[in-house]
């Protein structure tokens, strides 16, 4: 069978889509273009109104360019409005995430489930989803409705998967989840329940450390963790395991304004956030932090935006992912009458992206004279622990670790 996966949205979607693709490839099915596929899988996104539009366009495109393929839609947008997608064409079928593997195998006539390790397209960096769903209810977001309550995978299953991936030659494993920091095996109120730092410790103890040259055999990268979920134990673990546990974390800010954060229903304020960042830099040498920021949230004033700029400068992020607020029907923020004009959102987004570039260069400059292990991911291209992309010799093979020395003087892009 020939298949094509279309992925939209977050990194968790990417992990889920890659898992299905790898499994089908390992079973002898061929990955191809949408035009030539017998099965098209569209992993949808609905985090914003704009994402919803892109999802609908992607499904219509699949139907238009291929007049015979079965089109399976899954993911957040499809979960919210399955009737719409199935009403587009008799060939469209909605399949919930929890049933996607079973339905895909049935379509591909797979009779035995071989364990997914890594195919040629997934050898360098592979994501492992350890958690799904979210118990928060930010006023701009509908993902908690689409994904449901937070659910964590059993730790033994996760460790087994990481060991298998490492044995297959994967060099970097990214732990991901919709609300990764809420990982909990056991009752949430039980102080003895296994949480993210303990899971990481189990994984590190179960896989190889570093080679004779000091390079990691396999390294781990933690995905996005909500500020309130960062614990002293997590900081201590990152500080105690350089090289093996990447000195980088994605820490969503969303706004630097006390008023806007409260109206977003984010459970912290700017003072809490900046204090957390300060402690990270004190306790984990060489730590790099990236973030998400929404600009133009309903009611955001210029003063609110200036507060966001100030917090971003104080935190010294190595990367800011800038999102102009996009109205998502069904969320409290969408009902507000004080929506921000598109031109104002565009202006603020441009100014914040300019600051992001400035802070990225400053973060690189701070690293002058230091070294990090860089994972080669393409001809002349590698990613260091701090998640900056750097340039290496084109003779170095994909998947190799090289010791990168940050130059003194101008920062490297």
Report the chain (413 residues): mean pLDDT per 10 consecutive residues.
92 86 83 95 90 93 96 92 94 84 54 44 78 94 91 94 90 94 90 94 89 86 96 96 94 98 97 97 96 98 98 98 93 96 98 98 96 92 95 88 86 44
Q: From the CB of residue 105, how many other CB atoms can be counted at a distance below 10 Å? A: 17
Kindly state the greatest CA–CA separation across the chain: 62
pLDDT of residue 168: 86
Q: What is residue 328's three-state secondary structure?
A: coil
Convert the pLDDT of each residue in 201-237 to its tens digit.
Answer: 999 999 877 777 888 899 999 999 999 999 999 999 9
At residue 208, φ and ψ (nearest 5 deg) are: -60, 150
- Interacting residues of 360 by C-beta distance below 8 A, sequence separation 6+: 318, 319, 388
Distance CA 100, CA 95 (A): 6
Cross-strand pairs, 289: 249
Amino acid 115: pLDDT: 45
Neighbouring C-beta atoms of residue 97, cutoff 10 Å: 19
Give the per-residue pLDDT at 26.
Answer: 77
- Alpha helices for 81-191 (secondary structure H): 82-86, 100-107, 143-147, 155-167
Which residues are CB-neighbours of 365 under 8 A, at least 6 positions away?
Answer: 411
* DSSP at 333: G
Q: What was the pLDDT predicted at 113?
A: 42
CB 165, CB 173: distance < 8 Å: yes
pLDDT of residue 116: 45
Q: Supply 57's token pair.
A: 């366009």
pTM of the model: 0.88
């Amino acid at each position: 069978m020939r298949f094509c996966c279309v992925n939209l949205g977050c990194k968790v979607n990417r992990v889920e889509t890659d898992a299905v693709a790898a499994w089908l490839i390992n079973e002898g099915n061929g990955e191809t273009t949408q035009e030539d596929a017998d099965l098209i899988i569209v992993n949808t996104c609905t985090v914003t109104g704009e994402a919803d539009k892109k999802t609908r366009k992607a499904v219509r495109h699949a139907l238009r360019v291929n007049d015979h393929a079965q089109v399976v839609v899954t993911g957040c947008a499809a979960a919210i409005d399955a009737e719409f997608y199935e009403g587009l064409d008799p060939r469209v079928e909605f399949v919930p995430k929890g049933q996607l593997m079973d339905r895909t195998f049935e379509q591909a006539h797979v009779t035995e489930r071989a364990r997914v390790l890594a195919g040629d397209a997934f050898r360098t960096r592979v994501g492992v989803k350890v958690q799904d769903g979210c118990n928060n209810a930010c006023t701009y977001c509908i993902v908690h409705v689409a994904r449901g309550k937070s659910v964590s995978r059993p730790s033994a299953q996760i460790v087994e998967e990481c060991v298998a991936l490492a044995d297959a030659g994967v060099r970097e494993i990214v732990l991901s989840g919709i609300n990764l920091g809420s990982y909990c095996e056991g009752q949430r109120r039980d102080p003895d329940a296994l949480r993210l730092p303990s899971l990481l410790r189990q994984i590190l103890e179960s896989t190889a450390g570093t080679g004779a040259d000091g390079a990691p055999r396999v390294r781990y990268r933690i995905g996005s963790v909500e500020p309130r979920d960062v614990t002293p134990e997590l900081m201590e673990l990152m500080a105690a395991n350089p090289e093996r546990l990447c000195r980088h974390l994605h820490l969503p800010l969303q706004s630097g304004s006390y008023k806007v954060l409260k109206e977003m229903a984010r459970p912290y304020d700017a003072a809490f956030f900046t204090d957390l960042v300060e402690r990270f830099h004190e306790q984990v040498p060489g730590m790099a932090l990236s973030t998400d920021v929404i600009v133009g949230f309903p009611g955001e004033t210029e003063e609110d935006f200036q507060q966001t700029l100030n917090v971003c400068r104080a935190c010294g992020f190595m990367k800011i992912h800038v999102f102009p607020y996009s109205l998502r029907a069904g969320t409290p923020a969408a009902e507000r009458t004080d929506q921000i004009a598109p031109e104002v959102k565009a202006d603020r987004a441009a100014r914040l992206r300019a600051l992001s570039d400035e802070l990225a260069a400053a973060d690189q400059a701070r690293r002058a004279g230091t070294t990090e292990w860089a994972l080669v991911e393409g001809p002349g291209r590698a990613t260091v622990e701090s998640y900056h992309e750097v340039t290496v010799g084109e003779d170095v093979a994909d998947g190799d670790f090289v010791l990168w020395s940050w130059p003194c003087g101008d920062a490297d892009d």
